[in-house]
Structures are given as structure tokens and as C-alpha cells.
Structure 1
Amino acid sequence: MSHSRPMPRIISLAALVLALGMAACVQKAPPELVQAVESLDRELTAAQGAEFAPEEYAKFVEHWTAVRGRMLAEPDVIRLPWEPNRLVADLLKVQEQGVLAVSTATQRREAEHQHAESRLTQLEERLQTFTGNLDTMGGRVVLGRRPVETELLAKQARSFFEQGQFARSQQASQQAAKLLDHQIERLGTELGRYADERRVTAWRHMVAQTVTWSRHHHSAAIVVSKADRRLFVYRNGKAVASYPVSLGYNGILEKRYQGDGATPEGQYRIVRKRDRGDTKFYRALLLDYPNSQDRRRFQQARAVGALPPKASIGGQIEIHGGESRALSETLGCVQLENRQIDALFDLIEEGAPVTIVGALGLSNAVSLALAELEQTEEG
């Protein structure tokens, strides 16, 4: 008796296995999805994701690296139809993280860009105002190399900004702004007397005395305003001539000792008219600096240790001509053009008073420049 009945069942089982095998598929990632994630990776690099969205960027990189590793290590993993494609799910998750990272980095980078641009623009405007006023008041020497250092920092901030290095640009802008604040404070300390009502009143009184002298003596007298860089000639109490002048390289300051480059302030007399051949400055009017007040101030400053140990009071302060600006700027004198000193020689006699003051009024070039600079301080 034959036992061939189980054969159909065996065949059916084999067919089922074959069918399932044919229905199963290789687990692969859709190329367009992989390309989308790769594109996000490039966008994040361009958006400086590591800098502007470090947490989001780190998550994206970590998961993207893991998924990419699986794709390379298991290129032909078989899954059954009812099993989810975990690779696609993971790629979609990575894509979602990438979109978030790109969005975050882009927004933060734009905010940083705007902040850096705002600080840089403000700095450059302040620097332009500062430079113009500094030259107006002649205060560069007071500050030494600080103005140059500030300009270099501003250029560095601009360079960083144009390179997209916004954090470094802001840092350089902040350093330059602090330098500006320190310089404005220093200028206020050194030149604040130009805005001091008591000091300006004293200067005006000195000028009034000189003008009165010219009226009473029916003779010429000289007034020099350092803030205005101007020399005025008075005769019979009235201004009859006015000339622009150059001062010492530190002329805007009050003279303290020989070699400081400052032009003295006070009431002097012309003790000698030096004609051509008698001076290296074409023609010159020698003043009686130092006078008794200058000596008293010098001794007081020395007594409190406000002068260099070997400082001397100096002398030979002149109103002179000559074409050499560099030569006059080492001495603290008052310089005119040759044709102007010629005219002055014809107007002035030996013994005539010469009054040199910081300014003729409170609204002078130096005080106005200081006020404008103080308004730009960041505080």
C-alpha cells in the first residue's frame, strides 16, 4: 500500500517559502533622500553650523555618521514586506535634524551679522568724528600712538567682518571702542581747561589788558589764540591785522619744561627783533619767556614732582617766519609765513606786549571738539 498523500503539503510549504523569499526585498535608502541629507550637510558647513548651532549640528553629525556607516556596512540587508524600512526612517530623522540645524545656524548667523555690522558702523562713524576733532584741536601728540592703534583695530574689525568672522569683528570693534573712550578721557584731562569758565575768564582778562595797553600807548600789541591758531595785531585798541599761525608739535598744551613741544601761555614782551642773518627762522620776535610767573609755576611743579628729574624751564621762544615746519614744531614757538612776519615786523616794536592764551572764549575750537567727542562716548 503506497503512502504518497503528504506530498502536496510539502509542495505547498515549499511554495510558500519561495513566495515569501520572492516577496522579501533588500533594505536600501532612496537616492533622493540620501542626496537631500548630503545637501543639508553642505548647507550646514556654509552656514557655519558648528559655530552658530553647535548642539543641533552635533546631533545631526552624530546621527548622519551612524546612518551612513550602516549604509556602508550593510548594503544588502533583507527585510520582509511587513517589516518597516528602518533605514528610511532613520534618514528622515537625520533630515529633520539637518533642517533644524540649518535653520538655527542661519538665523543666528544673520543675527550675529547684523550685530557685528551695527557695532562696526558705529565704530567707524565714531572714529571719523574722533579723527576730525582730534586734528581740529591738535591733540594727536597728547595721545601718542593710541590713535594709530585704534585705526588699525577698526581696519581689522572690517576685515574680519568681510571674511564672515563676525565674533572676531565684534571683539576688535569693542577693543577699538574702549581705546576711543580712554583717549577721549585723556583729552578731557589734558585739554579740559579750554572748557573751564574760570580759566577762559582769566585768558579774556589778559587779552583785555593787552588791548587796553595798545589803546593807551597808541601802539601795536599782539594776541595769540592757540585754539584758533591765530595771531591778532591790535593798535589803538582795535584789531588791525590777523594771521594764521603754527604752534609747537605739542602746542595746544600749556608749556611746563624745555623740550615738551608746548607753546607757553602768558603775558610777555618782545625783547629783541631778530632780522635776517640774526636767526635761522628768516625773521623773529624774541619773547621774554620765561617770565616771573613761568618760573614760579616751574618751581611749584618741580616741588611736587610733576616734572622729569632733569627738566629745565627752557627759553628762546619766538614768533618767527621760516619755511621749515619741522624745525618750528620741535621748539614750541609761534610760526608765520615769511610774508606775514615781514608785515608784522613793520607793525611791531621792541617792548611791545605779546599775550598768548589758550582761547578767546568758551565756545572755542578745542572745547567744541571735546564736547562733540564726549557725546560719542559709549560709557
Structure 2
Amino acid sequence: MTFLRAILVLLSLSVLASCGSNKFQTYNGPEVTRVVVLKSARQVQLWHHDRVLKAYKAGLGFAPEGHKYREGDGRTPEGTYMIDRRNPKSQFHLSIGVSYPNLADRKRADLMGFAPGGDIFIHGRGKTYKPDAPFDWTAGCIAVTDEEIEEIYAMVKDGTPISILP
């Protein structure tokens, strides 16, 4: 009887373990053809041609007003870029990269005598996020919840255009 009980306990534990959350979702809906970030509304929108599929509340860089001109300014860039990479091991749960800086950004920063910065992502909060942190807390990235970045990560493919608007 003890052997049978041990087998049942092990079986129950394995069933419970398989119910754990998986941060890698699948998505079979309409293609996301554009990502739009409305900085003034603190919103990320996923578009399929002429309609919004999903919208998320988002935090920005700690100095959210204006375009990013240089490394360390705390601003989120403005302009049209591409989703160009993904990081499944991000310290902010999951992240997808934005192709900032583009050629114009690099030229502008060079003329001003600054490095343009880089490593701009849409990402989750991760373990380092503190709930009492200000809403705009990143170094220039676009932050959503961990659950939301799981959905965005599944829906948005590399090569998708992203427009970041004031």
C-alpha cells in the first residue's frame, strides 16, 4: 500500500509541475503588421493593417519627454524602427529589440558629439522591478507587465515595423 501511495504522490507532483507557467506562448491570430507606441498616452498598440488588435499600458524612460539623442539621457526614442531581435533570457523577463539607433540617429548624435546609445527594448518588469518605482522607470525602453510581454513576444515577429510617436 505504501508503494502505491508513493506512486500516486509522484504522479500528482508531476501533473502539478506540468501546470506551471510557461513564458513562451503561441499565437495563431491575425499577423501583427505594425507596433505603435504612443508616448503621450503611455500605450503600446499591436496593429493588423488598419485595426488595433491589442493595446497595453506602458512605462517609458525616466525622462519621457522628447526624442532620445544620446546615451544615458533616459529618453525613449521617437521615430520609425524595426523589431530586430529578441532576448528570451532578459533580466526583464522577456524582451524584443527596437532597431534604435538608425542612421539619422547616429548622424545626429555624432554632430552633437555624443554616442547615441542603444539597447532599446520592449520588455517586462522582471525580478528587479520594485512596485513602488515611478511609472516611467526605464533607461529609455518601453516596459509592460511580465504577462503582457509574454503575449507581445508571441505575437510580434522580428522585422515588424515599430513607430514610436510623441
Assess same fold via TM > 0.5: yes
> How much is the aligned-residue C-alpha RMSD, in angstroms?
1.9
CA distance in 1, matches of 2:87, 2:110: 30
**SS of match in other structure, 1:339:** helix
* 2:60 is the counterpart of 1:238: no
* 2:116 is the counterpart of 1:313: yes
CA distance in 2, matches of 1:333, 1:229: 12
Contact 2:38 2:164 in 1 (8 A): yes
Identity of aligned residues (%): 30
1:151-300 to 2 correspondence within 5 Å? 219-275=32-88, 278-300=89-111
Contact 1:284 1:320 in 2 (8 A): yes
Q: Which protein is richer in helix relative to its size?
A: 1
Q: Which protein is richer in strand relative to its size?
A: 2
Task: With the length of structure 1 as denominator, give the TM-score of the two structures.
Answer: 0.33
Which string of whole-angstrom CA distances, capped at 9 and with x for unpartnered residues, describes residues 180-201 of structure 1? Answer: xxxxxxxxxxxxxxxxxxxxxx
**SS of match in other structure, 1:254:** coil
Which string of whole-angstrom CA distances, capped at 9 and with x for unpartnered residues, describes residues 91-139 of structure 1? Answer: xxxxxxxxxxxxxxxxxxxxxxxxxxxxxxxxxxxxxxxxxxxxxxxxx
* 2:134 is the counterpart of 1:352: no
Unaligned runs of 5+ in 1: 1-217, 303-310, 359-379
Q: CA deviation at 1:286?
A: 0.9
**SS of match in other structure, 2:147:** helix
- Pair member with larger Rg: 1
Q: CA deviation at 1:301?
A: 2.7
Which string of whole-angstrom CA distances, capped at 9 and with x for unpartnered residues, describes residues 272-331 of structure 1? Answer: 1211xx2111000111111112112212333xxxxxxxx421110000001416598251
- In structure 1, give the amino acid aligned to 2:93: Y
Contact 1:259 1:330 in 2 (8 A): no
Contact 1:248 1:329 in 2 (8 A): yes
- In structure 1, give the amino acid aligned to 2:122: I
Contact 1:220 1:347 in 2 (8 A): no
CA distance in 2, matches of 1:340, 1:290: 25
Unaligned runs of 5+ in 2: 1-30
* 2:146 is the counterpart of 1:338: yes
* 2:117 is the counterpart of 1:322: no
After the TM superposition, list the runs of 4 or more consecutive aligned residues in structure 1 that deviate by more than 2 angstroms.
Answer: 299-302, 325-330
1:60-99 to 2 correspondence within 5 Å? none
CA distance in 2, matches of 1:255, 1:346: 27
Aligned residues: 131
CA distance in 1, matches of 2:49, 2:118: 30
Q: CA deviation at 1:221?
A: 1.5
CA distance in 1, matches of 2:32, 2:146: 23
